[in-house]
Amino acid sequence: MNMSKLGLTFAASDYDHFRDLVNGEVPVQGIDLNCLKLSIEETFFRFTKFREWDVSEMSMGKYVSLISQDDDTITGIPVFPSRVFRQSSLFVLADSPIKDAAGLLGKRVGIPEWAQTASIYTRGWLVHQIGLPLQEIEWIQAGVSQPGRVEKVVLRLPDGVRYRPEPDRSLTEMLVAGDIDAVMAAHPPEPFKRGDSEIVQLYPNYREVEEAYYRETGIFPIMHVIAIRGDVFQANRWIAGNLMKAFEIAKNNSMARALEFTATRFPFAWCYDAAGKAQDLFGEDFFPYGIEANQTTLDAFLQYSFEQGVCHRRLQPEDLFPEEVQATFKL
């Protein structure tokens, strides 16, 4: 008897480690996957606000916040499309007296959203590694390049935190005008992206700073996660494990391409050398999925999220994902 496959729509940004799944080279057993390739911002907005499709890339910060509020309209699997260290994401004016993170004490720092994943990790680093209490910085929330950006989840800010939205201005405008002292954001300010010299990274040697941070903490920041609409998962709980297996195979294929010595699979020189150095730092699987391989990172992120009022209760990594993707069978 032929059984029809379950049709699911999946939305995400464009990643090489998703390529073989999206183009069908790696099938998802029992699932006919309709794939939408959208910008990160559009994907996040439409799924977080409207749950428009069955499976989606999602902000890790928004995801853990909603789970901490017992939101059953989403269920995640430990597939992490994007991982980025964020010491590189602090921007100041070129003539700023601020020369390192300790110099942010008592200053005004702009953030796109308090619950943006990049901001959560960076504030965690400021508190735990640099020794700056959240209350010793004034936090201004606005869009990086455009006014009108708002928070997407309910916050429980810690006592004493000075936080104010600026709905009618952008962070870039305020930085250039001298009304804030620094910007902390995943997206760089437009003048920096254009190559203008007036805005610079606080840490131009960010690779050195970020590697030292990883060696000290073992944290490889997870920015995004894959989420399934809750009603779809509850009706078909088997899909979590099948999706997980397919994502893992597609990622392993991508890593093999990056490590290939004979031919260049990505359009930059010494790709295999860069991938080899990533293996030296992170291990053989240098972009791991799953809970066990990411325990340190997940636990730190959940601690930061709770301390900062993004999570409404202290979660454990195991609280984030269904049991179907936490256990493996043995022969």
Compute the distance between CA of residue 197 and CA of residue 192 in angstroms, rounded to an integer: 7
Quick one: DSSP state of residue 270? T
Q: Under CATH, to which class is 87-217 assigned?
A: alpha beta
Beta strand segments in 101-235, E: 108-111, 138-141, 162-165, 182-184, 199-201, 224-229
Q: What's the confidence (pLDDT) of residue 211?
A: 98
Q: How many CA atoms lie within 13 A of 166 on its CB side?
A: 24
Count the helices and strands in the chain (H runs, E runs): 11, 11
pTM, to two decimals:
0.96
Which pLDDT score, from 0 to 100, does residue 6 have?
98
Report CA 261 to chain centroid distance, whole Å: 30
* pLDDT score, position 1: 35
Report d(CA 99, CA 202) in Å as an integer. Answer: 7
CATH for 6-83+221-324 is 3.40.190.10
Q: Where are the domain boundaries for CATH 3.40.190.10 in the chain?
A: 6-83+221-324, 87-217
**Cβ(251)–Cβ(77) under 8 Å?**
no
3-state SS assignment for residue 15: coil
Q: Are 64 and 302 in contact (CB under 8 A)?
A: yes
Q: What share of the chain is helix, strand, coil (3-state, %, to 5)?
A: 40, 15, 45
* Distance (Å) of CA 296 to CA 214, 277, 316: 11, 21, 11
- Tell me how far apart the alpha carbons of residues 150 and 54 are, in angstroms, rounded to a whole number: 25
Residues of the chain below pLDDT 50: 1-2
- pLDDT, residue 209, reads 98
